[in-house]
């Protein structure tokens, strides 16, 4: 279900845009402070997967799309450095030192956010209340989707946190529930073969793809070109892709297009169901405030470049 058929998608698009602005402002500082204080940046990245226990099983609950070998290499490094502790059954306990370090660097990033008084035209307290209403509705919504990301993600905000930190935290709660909703809808189609879903998504843009191109564009996933070549052929064999020519180019098939649309519609159905907690006038109000906040964050970021 796209923005043309579901107006709630327009609001979610603005939420996602605000999240990206938050990241653009905070993450350069988070990375700098992490380096300065010898806190592995990977710990921050993994905080969305939970900072209680690390394992491939846990991580693949929210991220079945990254090469498991990439996670295992980081686990080994973090173990050697004392940030996590080996447990039975290929699991690692995250230390209190790691949680404190991640909280410290996230708070340093949040300190770069603009103060509420710099945007008096936005009722930020009201925005927080509306976001919290959706987050609480997500918490109490019946399954499916299975609630994993929203229960596991590491939060730093508490009662005493600055208002902007609370807003960021609620938005990331909604982002986590979006992941829960999407994986509930998509996982039955790819099971454990997340790389095959990766190639379908890459081809969904309309441009033909190759294994070499995917290895370059999706380098952060940790797969090599030969692994993408196998995934592309697997996607072709099940009808999601078709060969564009004889040079290793693949394009999405009509079956692939229909499957993607089916999954997106089901994702929206799961994700937006709890939004019934808000009245239409509250949704309109939320949309308007998100538009203004996005613009204010963009202005702040451009006027405060980070080296």
Among candidates 241, 183, 253, which has minimal Cα distance to 211?
241
Residues 6+ apart with CB under 8 A from 85: 79, 92, 93, 95
Provide φ and ψ at 139, rounded to 5°. -60, -40
Domain extents for the chain? 7-154+280-303
What pLDDT does 162 receive?
A: 96
Cβ–Cβ < 8 Å for 275, 134: yes
Among candidates 31, 43, 65, 45, which has minimal Cα distance to 228?
65
Burial class (CB in 10 A: 0-12, 13-18, 19+), 149: buried
What pLDDT does 307 receive?
A: 60
Name the stretches of the chain with pLDDT < 50: 1-4
CATH of 7-154+280-303, one of 3.20.20, 3.30.450, 1.10.3470, 1.10.10: 1.10.10
Chain centroid offset of residue 43 CA: 15
Length of the chain: 307
What pLDDT does 1 receive?
A: 44
Residues 6+ apart with CB under 8 A from 197: 64, 65, 186, 189, 190
The tokens for 73 are: 């290499």
141-159: pLDDT as tens digits? 999 999 999 999 999 999 9
Terminal alpha carbon distance of the chain:
40
């Amino acid at each position: 279900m796209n923005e043309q058929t579901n107006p709630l998608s327009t609001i979610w698009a603005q939420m996602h845009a605000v999240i990206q602005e938050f990241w653009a402002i905070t993450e350069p500082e988070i990375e700098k402070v992490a380096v300065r204080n010898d806190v592995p940046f990977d710990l921050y990245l993994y905080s969305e997967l939970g900072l209680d226990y690390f394992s491939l099983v846990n991580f693949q609950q929210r991220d079945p799309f990254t090469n498991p070998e990439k996670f295992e290499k980081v686990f080994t490094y973090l173990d050697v450095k004392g940030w996590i502790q080996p447990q039975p059954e290929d699991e690692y306990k995250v230390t209190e030192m790691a949680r404190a370090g991640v909280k410290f660097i996230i708070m340093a990033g949040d300190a770069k956010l603009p103060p509420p008084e710099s945007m008096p035209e936005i009722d930020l307290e009201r925005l927080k209340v509306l976001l919290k209403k959706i987050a609480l509705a997500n918490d109490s919504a019946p399954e499916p989707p299975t609630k994993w990301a929203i229960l596991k993600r590491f939060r730093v905000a508490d009662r005493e946190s600055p208002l902007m930190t609370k807003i960021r935290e609620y938005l990331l709660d909604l982002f986590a529930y979006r992941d829960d909703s999407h994986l509930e809808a998509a996982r039955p189609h790819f099971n454990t073969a997340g790389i095959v879903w990766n190639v379908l998504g890459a081809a969904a843009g309309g441009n033909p793809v190759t294994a070499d191109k995917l290895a370059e564009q999706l380098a952060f996933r940790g797969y090599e070109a030969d692994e993408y070549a196998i995934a592309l052929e697997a996607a072709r064999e099940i009808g999601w892709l078709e060969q564009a020519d004889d040079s290793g180019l693949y394009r999405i098939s009509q079956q692939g297009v229909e499957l993607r649309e089916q999954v997106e519609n089901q994702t929206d159905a799961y994700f937006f169901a709890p939004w019934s907690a808000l009245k239409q006038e509250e949704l309109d109000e939320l949309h308007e405030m998100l538009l203004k906040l996005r613009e204010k964050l963009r202005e702040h970021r451009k006027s405060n470049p980070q080296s």
